[in-house]
Amino acid sequence: MNLSADTLQSINPATRELLGEVSLTPVSEVATQAARAKSAQEMWGEMSLKTRARILTDIRKQLVKKGNAIARLIADETGKTEWEGWIEILQTAEHFRTVCRTGPQVLRRERRSPGLLRYKRASVQYLPWGVAGIISPWNYPLTLTAGPLCEALMAGNGVIIKPSELTPLVGREIETLFLESGLPEGLVQFVYGFGDVGAALVESPDTDILCFTGSVAVGRAIAERCGQLLKPVILELGGNDPFIVLEDAPLNRAARAAAWGGFTNAGQTCISVERVIVVESVVDEFLAHLQAETEKLRVGPDKKKADMGAIINERQKQSILKQIREADARITCGGDDLEGELNGWFIRPCVVEVDSPDQTLTQKETFGPVITVQRVADEEEAIRVANATEYGLNASIFTGNRERALRLSRALRTGNVCINDVLSNYFCTHLPFGGVGISGIGRVHGPEGLKSFSRIQAVCEDRLGLKKELWWYPVSRTVQSLFKFTFRAFYG
C-alpha cells in the first residue's frame, strides 16, 4: 500500500502491482458521519426484528450473486488464493444466514422468573446501543468486516466502520453492497484511513460501542481509551495457538490439519496453527507426515493453481523472516525468502523443531507460514506447554479418545477448542468466538455475539395494581412479623 496526498493506493501483494485507490476520509469528517448513523439508527431501531432479518437476507443474496468478482478482488488485494477468497464468501454468507435465522428469537423480549415476588412480571429486553464503531483488519477483509457489521445491524444499531488501510478496495465493495440495500439512508457509514481515523471513531461521542479486530498493541490502546470513556468494547486480538497431538491420534489426519491450519492464508490468521505439541512416542512419525504435506504445497502468484499465496507486504515478510533467523531451533523444511524467484512477497512454508516454549518464536504471534513443533513426555506436559503463553484464542487436540479430549479441553486456557479438527469452530457460526488473556475481550458469533451488540435492559412490572406495596412507608409491625416468617420459610 502506497500513500498519495489524499488517497489510499492498494497494491497486490502477489505481484506488487497497483490495483486502485480510495479517497481518504478527513479526520474531521468522522464525527459528522457517526452523527449521520446515529440519526438514521432511530428509524432502524424501531423496525421489527423480522424486517431487519429480511433486509440482511437480501444483502446476503447480493453477496452471493457477486461472489466471483468479490473472490477475485479479495485474492488480488490480500495476495491469497482465489479459493481462499471463496472461503471468506462462504463463511460470511453462512454467518448472515445464522444471524437472520436466529436473531429474531435471540433478541426478542425474554421472560424471567420474578423469584419471591411472584405477583410481578420480570423480563429482559435486548435493545440497540445506538451506533457501533467497527475497525476491521486486512487478513480477512470481507469476513471480519461484514460479520460484525451484520450482527450490529441485526441488533438494531447504526454502524460506522473503518476497513483496513491495506484492503480499501474490498472495504469499498462491501460499502457498495450495503448502500444498494434497503437500509435507511445514512445507517451504515464507511471511513477510510489510518490510525488517526480509527482514533477519531473511538473518540466520537456518537459511537456507543466499539468492535476492533487486530493487534494486541492497538487493542490495548483502544481498551484503555474506551475504559476512560466508559464505552463498551469487543476486542478480537492475536493468537499463538497450540495444536496438541497425543500418542493415540490419527497422525495422517493430524499432519494434514496442521499443514492447512498453519499455512492457509500464508499463516496470516489469528487462529492459525503456530505451536504443534507432540507426545514423544509419535513425534518422528508425525513430523515425517507434516514435512511431506508442507513440501508439496505450491506457493506463488497464480491465484487459481497455488495452494498458498503471498505475505501482505514487505514489512510483514521481513518480520517473519527475522523470527525464523533468530530462532534457536532446527528448521525441518522451508523458511526461504522467495524474493529472487517471485515478484511478490512470498515465503516458503516453514516447519521448525523447538526444544523450549520460552523463545520468541513460540512466545510471540508469528502471523506467517511458520509452524513450530515441540516434543513432550505426556498429556500433562502438553497442557503445561500449551498454556505457557499470554495468548488464549484457539486450540486443537488430536486423540482417538473423545472423553480424554473433552477433559483436556477444560484444562486449556483458550476461548475455543477443536477436537480432531482445526479452525472449523469459526465456521460454526452458532458458536461464540473470542479469546482470553491478551487475545481479547467479549464475543462475536452465536447468541452471545448478537447480545454483545445489544444493550441489556431488565424490566419489572406490577400486575396487581395495589395501592401500596407492603414494604412501602409506613411499615407496620404486622408486616415486619410476616416478613420474618416468610424469610425463615423460604431460606431457613
Q: What is the pLDDT of residues 102-138, one digit of tens each?
A: 999 999 999 999 998 999 999 999 999 999 999 999 9
- Asked if residues 25 and 355 have their Cβ atoms less than 8 Å apart, the reply is no
Contacts of 35 (CB under 8 A, 6+ apart): 206
Both 355 and 312 in one domain: the answer is yes
Tens-place pLDDT, residues 162-204: 999 999 999 999 999 999 998 999 999 999 999 999 999 999 9
Confidence of residue 359 (pLDDT cuts 50, 70, 90): confident
Q: Are residues 331 and 354 in the same domain?
A: yes
Which residues, including other chains, have CB under 8 Å from residue 163's CB and lie 6 or more apart?
A: 136, 141, 145, 170, 171, 174, 190, 192
pLDDT tops 70 at residue 96: yes
Is 203 an annotated catalytic residue?
A: no
Cell numbers at residue 35, please? Answer: 452523527
Q: Are 397 and 246 in contact (CB under 8 A)?
A: yes
> What confidence tens digit (pLDDT) does each residue in 36-93 have?
999 999 999 999 999 999 999 999 999 999 999 999 999 999 999 999 999 999 999 9
Is the Cβ–Cβ distance between 44 and 158 less than 8 Å? yes
Q: Copy the grid coordinates of residue 175.
A: 460499502
- Residue 199 belongs to a domain: yes
pLDDT, averaged across the chain? 97
Q: With contact defined as beta carbons under 8 Å apart, do 143 and 159 qualify?
A: no
pTM of the model: 0.96
Evaluate whether 272 touches 264 at the Cβ level (below 8 Å): yes
The verdict on 378 and 412 lying in the same domain is: yes
Residues 256, 278 within the same domain: yes
Q: Are residues 372 and 231 in the same domain?
A: no
Residue 2 has pLDDT above 70, yes or no: no
Residues 223 and 441 sit within 8 Å (Cβ to Cβ): yes
Reading the block at residue 102, the C-alpha cell is 436466529
CA distance 195 to 455: 28
In a domain, 58, yes or no: yes
Contact yes or no for 151/211 (Cβ under 8 A): no
**Torsion 308-314-319-325 (CA) sign:** positive
Co-location of 126 and 76 in the same domain: yes
Residues of the domain holding 290: 241-432
CA distance 105 to 370: 42
Find the length of the chain. Answer: 492
Residue 463 within a domain? no
352 with 403, same domain: the answer is yes
CB burial string 169-207: b at 16+ within 10 A, e below: bbbbbbbebbeeeebbebbbbbbbbeeebbbbbbbbebb
What is the CATH number for 59?
Answer: 3.40.605.10
321: in domain: yes
Residues 11 and 106 in one domain: yes
Q: Are 449 and 150 in contact (CB under 8 A)?
A: no
197 lies in the same domain as 256:
no
By C-alpha distance, which of 113, 117, 154, 179 is closest to 447? 154
Give pLDDT tens digits for 428-472. 999 999 999 999 999 999 999 999 999 999 999 999 999 999 899
Q: Cell for 477? A: 409491625
Residue 468 lies in a domain: no
Catalytically annotated residue among 77, 88, 173, 236: 236
Do the domain assignments include residue 487? Answer: no
Catalytic annotation on 270? yes
- Rounded to whole angstroms, the Cα distance separating 44 from 60 reads 18
Query: Do both 211 and 107 map to the same domain?
Result: yes
* pLDDT of 4: 53
Contact call for residues 450 and 104 (beta carbons, < 8 A): no
- Exactly one of 100, 211, 270, 418 is catalytic; name it: 270
Cis peptide before 474 (omega within 30 of 0): yes
Looking at per-residue pLDDT, the higher value among 492 and 317 belongs to 317
The C-alpha cell at 228 is 476512560
Q: Give pLDDT, residue 155.
A: 99
334: CATH: 3.40.309.10
- Backbone φ and ψ for 96, nearest 5 degrees, come out as -60, -45
Q: In the predicted model, what is the mean pLDDT of residues 337-361?
A: 92
Instruction: Answer yes or no: do 145 and 188 share one domain.
Output: yes
Q: Among the three residues 400, 432, 464, which one is the final residue of a domain in this structure?
A: 432
Q: How many domains does the chain have?
A: 2
pLDDT tens for each residue of 203-254: 999 999 999 999 999 999 999 999 999 999 999 999 999 999 999 999 999 9
* 251 and 274 part of one domain: yes
Q: With respect to residue 464, please indicate whether it lies within any of the assigned structural domains.
A: no
Q: Is 489 a member of any domain?
A: no
Q: For residue 151, give every residue at least 6 positions away whose Cβ sits within 8 Å of its Cβ, in sequence order, or none.
A: 99, 444, 445, 449, 450, 452, 453
User: Above 90 in pLDDT, residue 281?
Assistant: yes
Banded pLDDT at 1 (limits 50, 70, 90): very low
